[in-house]
């Protein structure tokens, strides 16, 4: 399927790839975005990736729509031959259950599982970061085991603590900061996912992978949390030359 490019207002173009959600389609989005960033065209204002599309925001005083559309079509053709050689896998330490994962037992009961089985299934996979949205740094992750599919809360909570790991329908994600939300909470990570004062504000980037690592105790959680707050903690990141195995 040939990607389509349509106008979004008078200062943006929407590039849409396949009409489906898949790693292949998301790689096309990531590759195009990487090429645009590499070329550093002065008319580019911002890039907004999603599961299967990319919004290219531009300065109309520095370039015009027809030129940008043709430019993008050339990059899309070029990106077909781009070979993704390295993949980033980020380990996310997570304390499941207790007060940090107040809905863990509900998720287990809803799916006829034990809490231990939920933790084992949830932490066994490599999750693709398909997009960042809803709130700054909030990752939409692909690959949740179908045995863990659980509906959202009937009434959203007014405040979800930052770092909370949740499940909603067939997706799992992490709340980067305190915010309202309706996902079923199963745990919490002590890591900061979003820091507006950092050179790279979001720890997680579209196209990367994460893996949840269960913590054994609340003491272990607070040990890491204290190191994070004192800037003495570095997330465990692996660069792989083979794409991590992940369920679609």
Q: In what order do the strands lie in the sheet with 44-49?
A: 4-7, 12-16, 53-58, 44-49
pLDDT tens series, the chain, 248 aa: 678 999 998 899 999 988 777 888 888 888 898 889 888 899 999 988 888 899 999 999 999 999 999 999 999 887 776 656 678 899 999 999 988 999 999 999 999 999 999 999 999 999 999 888 877 889 989 889 999 999 999 999 999 999 999 999 999 999 999 999 999 999 999 999 998 888 788 899 888 999 999 999 999 999 999 999 999 999 999 988 777 776 65
What's the CATH class of domain 4-79? Answer: alpha beta
CA dist., res. 166 & res. 140, Å (int):
11
Of 148, 132, 111, 150, nearest in space to 205 by CA = 132
Cβ–Cβ under 8 Å, residues 17 and 53: yes
CA dist., res. 189 & res. 140, Å (int):
16
Q: What is the pTM of this model?
A: 0.83
For residue 37, count CB atoms less than 10 angstroms from its CB and return exposed for 0-12, middle for 13-18, buried for 19 or more.
Answer: exposed
CA dist., res. 31 & res. 82, Å (int):
7
Cβ–Cβ under 8 Å, residues 1 and 19: yes
| CATH 3.30.1360.40 residue ranges for the chain | 4-79
Tell the CATH superfamily of the 87-240 domain. Answer: Cyclophilin-like (2.40.100.10)
Which residues, 6+ apart, have CB-to-CB distance to 88 below 8 Å? 205, 208, 209, 237, 238, 239, 240
| CATH 2.40.100.10 residue ranges for the chain | 87-240
């Amino acid at each position: 399927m040939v990607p389509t490019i349509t106008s979004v207002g008078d200062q943006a173009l929407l590039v849409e790839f396949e009409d489906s959600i898949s790693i292949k389609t998301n790689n096309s989005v990531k590759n195009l975005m990487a090429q645009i960033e590499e070329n550093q065209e002065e008319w580019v204002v911002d890039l907004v990736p999603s599961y299967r599309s990319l919004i290219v925001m531009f300065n109309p005083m520095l370039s015009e729509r027809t030129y940008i559309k043709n430019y993008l079509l050339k990059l899309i053709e070029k990106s077909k031959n781009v070979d993704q050689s390295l993949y980033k896998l980020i380990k996310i330490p997570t304390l499941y259950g207790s007060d940090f994962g107040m809905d863990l037992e509900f998720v287990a009961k809803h799916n006829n599982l034990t809490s231990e089985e939920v933790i084992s299934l949830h932490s066994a996979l490599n999750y693709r970061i398909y997009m960042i949205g809803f709130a700054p740094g909030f990752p939409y992750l692909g690959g949740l085991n179908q045995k863990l599919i659980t509906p959202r809360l009937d009434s959203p909570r007014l405040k979800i603590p930052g770092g909370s790991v949740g499940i909603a329908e067939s997706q799992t994600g992490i709340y980067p900061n305190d915010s309202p939300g309706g996902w079923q909470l199963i745990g919490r990570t002590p890591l900061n996912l979003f820091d507006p004062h950092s050179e790279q504000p979001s720890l997680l980037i579209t196209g990367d992978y994460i893996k949840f690592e269960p913590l054994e105790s609340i003491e272990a959680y607070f040990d890491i949390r204290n190191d994070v707050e004192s800037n003495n903690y570095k997330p465990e990141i692996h660069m792989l030359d083979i794409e991590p195995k992940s369920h679609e």
